[in-house]
Structure 1
């Protein structure tokens, strides 16, 4: 923050891979949601300086059990959800 070390600090990295937020408003909403979840737990630790960041992974760089996930809202995605399994499509 000000260039001076903190006595008690925590840095959290979040990988957001299932979907991409479409715009700045959606990304801010996601960050507020994550921040709220963290705050409810971390605020109980007096003197803690905490921060987080969220990375959105390109679907081009994502596989599950060797399969590229199906496109959002597709029949293949519904099959994956229904069977709870990654399969070829």
Structure 2
């Protein structure tokens, strides 16, 4: 799993993300007898991130809100 994290600046935030992923996976996996499961999340640098050829706008910016409202990328 790769996560381009804008909101995981510290250990507590990263732990919340891990708990969130666990909460998604565990209900489907815990009832399988003998199953060993694990996950790993890589935090990708924003400097190495593009969507549809665009560098995403800064977190919390009006351009980011526009992308969210439109559910589409655009230049900014």
Deviation beyond 6 Å, 4+ runs, structure 1: none
* TM-score normalised by the chain length of structure 1: 0.80
CA–CA separation in structure 2 for the residues paired with 1:74 and 1:63: 17
Alignment check: 8 A CA contact 1:71 1:77 kept: yes
Query: Aligned pair 1:21/2:13, yes or no?
Result: no
Aligned length: 76
The gaps in structure 2 that reach 5 residues or longer are none
Query: Aligned pair 1:61/2:48, yes or no?
Result: yes
Query: Aligned pair 1:84/2:59, yes or no?
Result: no
CA–CA separation in structure 2 for the residues paired with 1:34 and 1:72: 22
CA–CA separation in structure 2 for the residues paired with 1:33 and 1:84: 23
Task: Give the structure with the larger strand fraction.
Answer: 1
CA–CA separation in structure 1 for the residues paired with 2:48 and 2:7: 13
1:43 — aligned with what?
Answer: 30
CA RMSD of aligned residues (A): 1.1
* TM-score normalised by the chain length of structure 2: 0.92
